[in-house]
Amino acid sequence: MLGRTMIDMTEKHTQQGERTDAIGLFTPDPNLRARRRSHAVAAGVFALLLAGAIHPVTAYAQGTFVPTGSMNTARVSATATVLQNGQVLVAGGQTTNGVVLASAELYDPNTGVFTVTGSMHSPRSYDTATLLPNGQVLITGGTATGSSAGLATAELYNPATGTFTLTGSMSTARENHTATLLQNGQVLVAGGNVGTSPIASAELYNPSTGLFTVTGSMGTARYVADAALLPDGQVLIAGGITSPNPTYVASAELYNPVTWTFSPTGSMSTPRGYFTATALQNGEVLAAGGYNGSAQVLTAEIYNQAAGTFSLTGSQTNQQGGPATLLANGEVLIAGGYNSVSLATAELYYPTTGTFGLTGSMTTARNDPAAALLQNGQVLVAGGQASSGAFLASAELYFPGNVTSVTITGSGTVQDNLGIINCTATNSVQSGTCATTYSGAGTVTMTATAFLGLTFGGWTSGGSTICAPSGNTCSFTIPTTGNFISASFYGPPTMLAFSVPPSTATQGYAITPAPTVQVEDANGNLVTAGPASTALISIAIGTNPGGGTLSGITTVSAVNGVATFNGLAIDNAATGYTLAATGGGLTPATSVSFTINYLGGSRVNFVTLGGQSGTVNSGTAGTVTYLVTVDYTIKAPLT
């Protein structure tokens, strides 16, 4: 849900920073243009992430923004929706001179490029975009000119055809409203304004019929409110502006999709509009920032449905006002916004501590950009308005902390003994494992998605692979009670390492167990897929204290990242040998030092004694009083 964006930076301001636009609707000076479009799909964010493909990328430092490709059209107040194929649909908004756009474009995370797609039937700004379960995107309402009374029409974007088609219209024209995907697949559209009048009515969109149906109305008419889907399927709608316009409210209410009714719940501690409401992974809702009618709000609060109350949590470091995005690790990113000037700063909310903290800043200051969480865990931030008033076409990517997520579902009596559906492994070194235990019996389906360019390395149980790393989803039967199951993840291949080092052996005989070399990422995790996992790996003597020669097959192709060297032998005895592995364009590996022992034996092949020579059986009595033996076959003194 969005608030209005200031188009003309020279407009006159009234009523302590508020302004009146062309239709007389009060909106704040570009404070907190809360771009919380993504709340409409908050409930499906993990399903979307976990179903997505893995897209390896260059690893950047945590909390870093990096430029990516620019949009074809500079735009502000656009919608950004992650499609099921991982691409991002950016649609509508406004461009230079406040022209409202009908155009749309697609961002491809694999290439970092925006391409133009079909245009909407109507230009739209202050509308909503919601990803439907069938993969299409529902666009509702908004304004077509920036000064009109709003639109009642709605349309669908079909990624398969790249086109928009009109669908059923709403019963009421509305803009600055909320749109929330319900657990039954329908979409709740609530509130907003028509002209200068806040709206209390709400309606449901049914994708099966393509029609809107009027449902119960809110107790308070409101626009520039925000909404969040709760774990039990109800919808929290809080804050906003009501009549007499502009009266900012702190009240909140719950929509029950079973009874089609709204009921009041606890109020926020302060009135606020243009804020962000983010459904957290623990089922609570973070309400942050906003504008209270006279000033920007730094405070934030948490809604607890069980208690039906809001309680204050940590305050923001800056008066951000940018879009809020729930990250895969449960933190919330708030990027950019406006505080006298457009902001490049960004900060994170940490639910475990209830505090905010600054993270890396964007490369460009931007107010009211579009933001979307990509399937690889990065955040796309696109467009917005610079402090100069210029509209931006540029975009950038946020690389969050390194997170890996695993989702498990089961049938029969299988239960996750950790008591969680989402097992999240956070590791400061870009990769790691996620493990859990199970009880009961039945079939379990486990889906693992690696973020920050990590790749899924497979499932193991009891030391055995139960799901090959050819995909990120597998189904299998839990064989015993209390089984321990783990998923591994790895980053880009960077180096070779000896997973089974060479050990002490006898000269001329094979080194056992066979030395193995594996392809690893920068953090020592086995890389099991990609070209490097099948690279030709060669092995040779590194340190050579005995002047020995290495025999056996010394070049092999890795299999799933592992190269095994059977039959290697060194012909000369000595202590302090090492082996060196090279190949695949990776950093070479050197083994630990090891010893090659003398062969020994009961036969001396050649004897030299005081200038005389001959063959003597070892241990046979004779007239020799001092004996030096040399075995010229194996070039080593015998004991």
H or E stretch at 511? none
pLDDT at 461: 64
The full DSSP string for 25-71 is -EEESS------GGGGGGGGHHHHHHHSPP-------TTEEEEEPPP
Mean pLDDT, to the nearest integer, of 92-118? 94
Give the least confident one: 114-123, 338-347, 590-599: 338-347
What are the pLDDT digits (tens) for 224-252?
999 999 999 999 999 999 999 999 999 99
Residue ranges of domains in the chain, CATH in brackets: 18-401 (2.120.10.80), 407-490 (no CATH), 493-597 (2.60.40.10), 601-639 (no CATH)
Structure token digits, residue 266: 């606890």
Report the alpha-carbon distance of residue 60 to residue 461 in Å, rounded.
32
In the numeric block, the tokens 């964010």 are attached to 45
Query: Whose CA is closest to 38, among 379, 389, 462?
Result: 379
Report pLDDT digits (tens) over 151-169.
999 999 999 999 999 999 9
pLDDT value, residue 42: 27
Alpha-carbon span 400 to 331, nearest angstrom: 9
Q: Is 8 exposed, middle or buried (0-12, 13-18, 19+ CB in 10 A)?
A: exposed
DSSP per-residue letters across 99-119: EEP--EEEEETTTTEEEEEPP
Residue 43 to residue 45: CA distance in whole angstroms: 6
What is the C-alpha separation between 181 and 224, in angstroms, rounded?
Answer: 18
Instruction: Express as a percent the part of the chain with pLDDT over 70.
Output: 69
Burial 462-475 (b: 16+ CB within 10 A, else e): eeeebbebeebebe
Residue-level pLDDT at 548:
96
Question: Which of these ranges, 292-301, 445-454, 604-613, has the smallest mean pLDDT?
Answer: 604-613
CA 564 to chain centre: 35
Least confident of 44-58, 114-128, 206-220, 380-394: 44-58
What does the pLDDT read at residue 44?
A: 25
Which tokens belong to 276? 């962000």
339 vs 465, higher pLDDT? 339
pLDDT of residue 578: 97
The share of the chain scoring above pLDDT 90, in percent, equals 58
**18-22, 245-249, 352-356, 450-454: segment of lowest average pLDDT:** 18-22
The token pair that represents 319 in the structure block: 């008066």
Span 294-322, average pLDDT: 92
SS3 215: strand
For 60-76, how does the pLDDT look when each residue is reduced to its tens digit (9 = 90+)?
345 788 899 999 999 99
Q: For position 417, what pLDDT does the model report?
A: 31
Mean pLDDT of all residues in the chain? 78
- Displacement of CA 531 from its chain's centroid (Å): 24
Out of 218-222, 587-591, 608-612, which region has the weakest mean confidence (pLDDT)?
608-612
- Residue 614 carries which side chain, given as an amino acid letter? G
pLDDT tens string 432-450: 444 454 444 455 555 555 4
Give the pairing type, strands 594-597 and 505-506: parallel
Q: What is the mean pLDDT of residues 530-542?
A: 92
Q: Look at residue 446 in the predicted model and tell me its pLDDT.
A: 57
Tell me, what's the pLDDT at 626?
Answer: 45
Which of 58-72, 73-87, 536-550 is least confident? 58-72
Question: Could you give the strand order of the β-sheet that contains 505-506, starting from the edge strand earlier in sequence?
Answer: 505-506, 594-597, 574-577
Averaged pLDDT for residues 416-427: 31
Taken in order 470, 475, 479, 481, is the CA torsion positive or negative?
A: positive
Widest CA span of the chain, in angstroms? 126
Lowest mean per-residue pLDDT among 15-19, 202-206, 289-293: 15-19
Give CA–CA dist 565/165, Å, rounded: 61
Residue 408, strand partner residues: 446
Task: For 14-122, list the strands marked E by DSSP.
Answer: 18-20, 26-28, 64-68, 79-82, 88-91, 94-95, 99-100, 104-108, 113-117
What average pLDDT does the segment 549-564 reach? Answer: 94
Give the pairing type, strands 536-541 and 555-557: antiparallel
* Bond prior to 244 in cis (omega within 30° of 0): yes
Read off the pLDDT of each residue in 514-542 and give the average, rounded to a whole number.
88
pLDDT value for 253:
98
Q: What is the mean pLDDT of residues 10-18?
A: 26
Whether residue 519 has pLDDT greater than 50: yes
Highest mean pLDDT among 105-114, 416-425, 565-574, 600-609: 565-574
Residue 330: per-residue pLDDT = 85
